[in-house]
Structure 1
Amino acid sequence: MAYDNGALDATLAAAAGDDAALMRELRSAFLESALRQLDLLKRARCDGNWNVAAMRLKGLAASFHADDLLAAAERALNAAPGEPMVVREIEAVLHNFARPLRR
């Protein structure tokens, strides 16, 4: 499955301008927040906790125009708590977003 970071990168670039350090910091903050919500999703044992984490992830994705993450979060909202396919999809999207940080 291929993921496109274009909209996220454009949003971060609009906020950071030509400041590469700020761009890295914003990407890192985005990723840290998304990973925190993923952790909550993984630990959710009821519909309420699962939905709260999925909605937070969806809101974060929408705020940063991270379309792939937005779609994955939407699938999480329509899935049962702990659905492994949804969790793996979100992990893959976040892994892809993290790649530019490892350069």
Structure 2
Amino acid sequence: MLYENGALDANLAAAAGDDAVLMAELRGAFAGSLARQLDLLKRSRCDGNWDVAAMRLKGLAASFHAVELIVLADEALASAPGEPTVIRKMEAFLSDFTGQPA
């Protein structure tokens, strides 16, 4: 599943300007944070841990204006802990963003 990252990419470009190194660092920081928070979400088994991980993902998404990820985080918040469809969608988002398989 592909996600439209136009707003996310536009915000990263606005922050980095013409600095390709900074753009790569920002993309790497976002991808690294997303991977860590997704790992926490995947390991969550109780409502509290699941909600905290989903809220962290939503906060990360909001700070980078990643609208698609905000929607996915909201979906996670409305789901039961360990919901596989939510996890797969977030893994697909990360894979699409990084260009690497999940």
TM-score normalized with structure 1 length: 0.93
Aligned residue for 2:35, secondary structure, equals helix
1-side partners of 2:37 and 2:5: how far apart?
Answer: 19
Q: Is 2:21 aligned against 1:21?
A: yes
Runs of 4+ aligned residues of structure 1 deviating over 2 Å after TM superposition are: none
1-side partners of 2:74 and 2:21: how far apart?
Answer: 31
Q: Displacement, 1:2?
A: 3.0
Amino acid at match of 2:75: R
CA contact (8 A) 2:58 2:70 kept: yes
Q: Which residue of 2 aligns with 1:40?
A: 40
Gaps of 5+ in 2: none
Amino acid at match of 1:58: K
Gaps of 5+ in 1: none
Q: Which residue of 1 aligns with 2:56?
A: 56
Number of residue pairs matched? 100
Quote the RMSD (CA, aligned, Å). Answer: 1.1
Aligned residue for 2:4, secondary structure, equals coil
TM-score normalized with structure 2 length: 0.94
Percent identity of the aligned residues?
69
Aligned residue for 2:81, secondary structure, equals coil
2-side partners of 1:94 and 1:68: how far apart?
Answer: 11
1-side partners of 2:26 and 2:96: how far apart?
Answer: 16
